[in-house]
Amino acid sequence: MLPIPGLEQVRRPDIVRFSVNLIVSHEVAAGAPVVDESHPTYGNLIGKIERRAHLGVMYTDFTEIKAGAMLQASGGYLILQALDVLRQPFSWDALKRVIKTGAVTIEDPAEFYGFATAGLRPQPIPVSVKVILIGSTGIYHVLQAYEEDFSKLFKVKADFDVEVPHDERQERQYARFVAKLCREESLPHFGDDAVAEVIRQGFRFADRHDRLSLRFSMVSDLIREAGYWARKDGHPFVTRTDVEAALAHQRHRVDLPEQWIQDEIREGTLMVDLRGDVVGQVNGLSVYQLGDFCFGRPTRITARTYVGTKGVIDIQREAELAGHIHSKGVMTLAGYLAGKFADAQPFALSATLTFEQTYSEVEGDSAAVAELTAVISSLADIPVRQSLAVTGSVNQLGEVQPIGGVNEKIEGFFESCKRRGLTGKQGVIIPTRNVKHLALNRTVVEAVEAGTFAVYGVDTFDQVIELLTGVAAGERRPDGRYPPESVYGLAAARLEDMAQIVACWGEDEEAKDKIRK
């Protein structure tokens, strides 16, 4: 059979088997390699054996052996994200095997699925590599608890803070970061007032005015958006107004739920009194967390007291709408009440506490001071100023303890007051230990400076009750009693009357039982 003209095949000598497959090459003068593997699949991490197609047939040889990140980082460092490694099939076990044995064995992943094929079996390649695993605290603790080899293989743990103390050096570093980002991304440069506003927002990200946040992804987003608004307005340099515009637009894009709630407070659908005095009613402050956005709002807290021996009843807990920490806070304030007034007489009290118009679970003890104020106000029959809101937890000794979300709580109450009209008498009471966490927006700061809004810091519950009622709390006298016209004196007198009523009622019941017998 003669060959078809034009389709003759010329056979060339096969010299592939004499070639060299250089898998990894490191320059001596380049120093130790540092490899950051962003996609640690089994093949990218360990290596792979590739195949070629010829006339519909797949084939391979030793020249198709490719190195993975482990071999590329040999003699140096390999950086991996823990969550990315755990998400990839076989990657975590392969990583452990390399660290344990000190060698990389390149295999066909198809064999792990049960598809065994005749192919290459490269010998293990010795490696010496330092693996740096990056992950959150939660992932670390999960691996520590459930992966028995984790503590043996990864012996050095390093925590990195997301905040730094605020000083002049860190302010300069912030300014340099702003300038660097502007140069790299061709953004308009920032004026000194704009840099100051970015630094001020760094306090906000850290939730403290004595620290600066190191979450530069958030800072970078702010710088980019401020640059956008500066260009749109034709400014040659970014000004403080541009930074404030960026912040306002960032908030406006996500604050629809807050606007709904504030509108309902203004219209009266959510009942919150911001003027006048009411007995047994206090404005507490809540924080809502919606993804990366949180905001505060005032919440009416009410208490009713009456004769009985059931103690303080938390309606939220009874309705299974209270978290464990909130229940602890209510029980703690009950302990404070008993220690304050029941040292010489039985504690005959029944009281109910509730958050009005809340239909989801209440968690946290930051309303304990407000709840205690409502109970004391009801007992003493003394009205509470509705122009003030209060936040803070309290211990059994009457000390006011710090809480979280203080900036959002103050700004939420301020927003409600502003929509109804500022009177100059409105404000928020916070724990003194939270003063260092204040990083309020400029609108609130200007209102405080103008005297139309106030922020009070307190250390004890006595200071809280005096601010909210305008009546002296009262100190215990040598005879064990409180001044009769003080808040505690009026509350103690009412508790004494209740104790007598309960005692008389108990004696009457005993007499009736004797008659029946």
CATH number for the domain harbouring residue 338: 3.30.230.10
User: Do 109 and 247 reside in the same domain of the chain?
Assistant: no
Say which amino acid occupies 383: P
Centroid of chain to Cα 444: 23
Single out the residue in 103, 135, 153 at which a domain terminates. 153
User: Do 401 and 302 reside in the same domain of the chain?
Assistant: yes
Cβ-based neighbours of 449, under 8 Å, separated by 6 or more: none
Q: Are 43 and 96 in contact (CB under 8 A)?
A: no
Count the Cβ atoms, other than its own, within 10 Å of residue 442. Answer: 12
Residues 231-251: b if buried by 16+ CB within 10 A, e if exposed = eeeebeebbbbbbbbbbeeee
Gap between the Cα atoms of 501 and 496, Å rounded: 9
Gap between the Cα atoms of 473 and 487, Å rounded: 5
Residue 5: predicted pLDDT = 58
Single out the residue in 252, 286, 311 at which a domain terminates. 252
Closest CA to 45 of 88, 102, 100: 88
Closest CA to 393 of 467, 326, 339: 326
Closest CA to 220 of 237, 240, 201, 235: 201
Residue with tokens 């980082």: 73
In degrees, rounded to 5, the angle at the alpha carbon of residue 219 between the alpha carbons of residues 214 and 223 is: 150
Gap between the Cα atoms of 340 and 312, Å rounded: 14
* Token reading at 111: 């064999």
User: Do 77 and 208 reside in the same domain of the chain?
Assistant: no
Cβ-based neighbours of 25, under 8 Å, separated by 6 or more: none
Q: How many CA atoms lie within 13 A of 338 on its CB side?
A: 15
Residue 60: predicted pLDDT = 66
Indicate which residues carry an active-site annotation. Answer: 366, 409
Residues 405-418: b if buried by 16+ CB within 10 A, e if exposed = bbbbbbbbbbbbbb
User: Do 75 and 181 reside in the same domain of the chain?
Assistant: no
373 part of a folded domain:
yes
User: Do 149 and 186 reside in the same domain of the chain?
Assistant: no
User: Do 296 and 422 reside in the same domain of the chain?
Assistant: yes
Gap between the Cα atoms of 108 and 121, Å rounded: 9
User: Do 351 and 381 reside in the same domain of the chain?
Assistant: yes
Residue-by-residue DSSP string for 410-427? HHHHHHHHHHH---S--E
* Token reading at 135: 């992950």
Q: Is the dihedral of CA 231, 237, 243, 248 positive or negative?
A: negative
Inter-axis angle of helices 487-516 and 368-380, nearest 10: 70
Residue 418: predicted pLDDT = 94
Torsion, Cα 433 437 439 443, to 10 degrees, reads -40
CATH number, residue 85: 3.40.50.300
11 part of a folded domain:
no
SS3 content of the chain, % helix, strand, coil (to 5): 45, 20, 35
Torsion, Cα 166 169 172 173, to 10 degrees, reads -80
Structural domains counted in the chain: 3
Helix (H, G, I), strand (E, B) or coil at 58: strand
User: Do 473 and 418 reside in the same domain of the chain?
Assistant: yes
Say which amino acid occupies 265: I
User: Do 470 and 398 reside in the same domain of the chain?
Assistant: yes
75 part of a folded domain:
yes
Single out the residue in 252, 282, 304 at which a domain terminates. 252
Say which amino acid occupies 221: D
Gap between the Cα atoms of 311 and 302, Å rounded: 16
Residue 430: predicted pLDDT = 96
Gap between the Cα atoms of 112 and 425, Å rounded: 73
Count the Cβ atoms, other than its own, within 10 Å of residue 318. Answer: 11
508 part of a folded domain:
no
Count, in order, helices (H) and strands (E) of the chain: 18, 22
User: Do 343 and 433 reside in the same domain of the chain?
Assistant: yes
Containing domain of residue 111, as a range?
25-153
105 part of a folded domain:
yes
Gap between the Cα atoms of 141 and 448, Å rounded: 44
CATH number, residue 248: 1.10.8.60
81 part of a folded domain:
yes
40 part of a folded domain:
yes
Cβ-based neighbours of 452, under 8 Å, separated by 6 or more: 422, 423, 424, 426
Helix (H, G, I), strand (E, B) or coil at 147: coil
Gap between the Cα atoms of 429 and 410, Å rounded: 9
509 part of a folded domain:
no
Helix (H, G, I), strand (E, B) or coil at 293: strand
User: Do 327 and 423 reside in the same domain of the chain?
Assistant: yes
Closest CA to 279 of 380, 196, 139: 380
Average pLDDT per 10 consecutive residues for the chain, totaling 517 residues: 54 62 74 89 84 65 76 90 92 91 81 60 87 92 91 89 90 94 94 93 89 91 94 92 94 92 92 93 92 90 91 89 90 90 81 90 90 94 96 94 93 94 94 93 93 95 95 89 92 89 68 52
User: Do 81 and 117 reside in the same domain of the chain?
Assistant: yes
Closest CA to 197 of 237, 165, 233, 253: 237
